[in-house]
Structures are given as structure tokens and as C-alpha cells.
Amino acid sequence: MLIELSDAGKKFNREWIFRTINYRFESGKKYALTGPNGSGKSTLLQVLAGSMTLSQGDIKWVMNQQNLDPDHVFKHLSIAAPYLELIEEMTAVEFLDFHRSFKPLLNNISITDILETIGLEKAAHKQIRYFSSGMKQRIKLAQAIFSDCSLLLLDEPCTNLDEHGYALYHHLIDTYAKEKTIIVSSNDVNEYGFCTNKIYVPDHK
């Protein structure tokens, strides 16, 4: 997927979060949205996801040289973010199976394989409400990375993860997301160090 921003800006009330961004996110490349907390990284990521409209300028999404209808962009992306809640009454298996009903899993990988890969096979039938914060983050990353989507959006993807969790995150990216277009919103280089393209959001105030 290719995403193109033209003179893009977003403001809340009278305050500009960012403005006059002209940028192309090209298919298969890795991008980092960086800047301190409150600088607008998450807002820009939500604009790129099509879940938030611009205050000025234009954005277009292109798949196979065809412009996508903004209302259909969500079908081609997956996202993991702190503000997206899990269905905590479900077990890990139920949640991933529910998610799979909306978006197929990458290479038809099984839920059992996913849970083994992220180290949660022993908690497969435990309700998510009883998971630790780190376990919940692993499930969030799994539903995003293992979805068969061309665009992967990650907002502070290692939130609540320990050293082993960081290692797992990089393993998942290296093994299952090489061909995806990836956009990471973070101020932690350990989360976006693999990205070859960086946008410092405060430069666009």
C-alpha cells in the first residue's frame, strides 16, 4: 500500500497538532513517527489509518495502482496501540478466533501456532482479564502482526513488555512482517530502530 499526504494538517480547536506535511509512505518500506510525548505521533498514525480526518490538505491510499475508498482502508491494515482495548471477557483463543473472522491470518497460520510463538500457549483458555499487562500486549501484537494485511501500524508497540518481550517483538517483525509496509509511532529507538525512514513530527508544527 502507498499512502500520500498533501499539505496535510490536523488541529483541535485552534491548536495545530501538525500541518503542511507532504510525504509518501511507499509500499514495503518501514517508517518511524518520532517526537516527545504529546507531539502528535498518535494523531498522525490515526490519520494514516483513516480513523481520523484531516483539518486541511489531503490523504490518499493506493493499492495495485488504484485509489482506495477511505471507508475501505481499514480492510487493508492492522494496528496495535495502547488506546485499543481487548475484549477481556474472551480467552486468548476466543479473541484471536473472533479477530480472524474479520481479517484472515497470515499464511493461514493456526491460533495454536500463534500462541506458542508469543509464549502464551499455557494461557490459551484463560480469560484475558486475568492476563498481566505484558501478556495483554503480546496478544495485541499478535492480532496485528499475524493479520494478512499489507499495512501494519504500531503505536508504542513495546508498552508493558520486558526485555524478553522486546526480543519477541523484533522476532515477530523480522519473521512475519518483512513484506509489509510498517509505520511505528514511538520515541523509543528500541521500538523503531529497524525503520529506515523517520519523520520527526514536531518539525511539522
If you average pLDDT over residues 101-122, what whole number do you get? 95
Question: Mean pLDDT for the chain?
Answer: 96
For the whole model, what pTM was predicted? 0.95
Check whether 205 has a pLDDT greater than 90. Answer: no
Distance CA(61)–CA(163), nearest Å, equals: 36
* 3-class SS shares of the chain: helix, strand, coil, % to 5: 35, 30, 35
* Mean pLDDT value of segment 20-29: 96
The pLDDT of 170-178, averaged and rounded, is: 97
Rounded to an integer, the average pLDDT of 99-112 is: 92
Pick the CATH number of 2-204 from 3.60.40.10, 3.20.20.140, 3.40.50.300, 3.30.465.10: 3.40.50.300
At a CB cut-off of 8 Å and minimum separation 6, what does 36 contact? 187, 202
How wide is the angle at C-alpha 73 spanned by C-alphas 175 and 11, nearest 5°?
105
Q: Domain boundaries in the chain? A: 2-204
Residues of the chain with pLDDT > 90: what percent? Answer: 97
Overall average pLDDT of the 162-186 stretch = 97
Q: pLDDT at position 108, please?
A: 77
pLDDT at 99: 95
pLDDT confidence tier of residue 178, bands split at 50, 70 and 90? very high
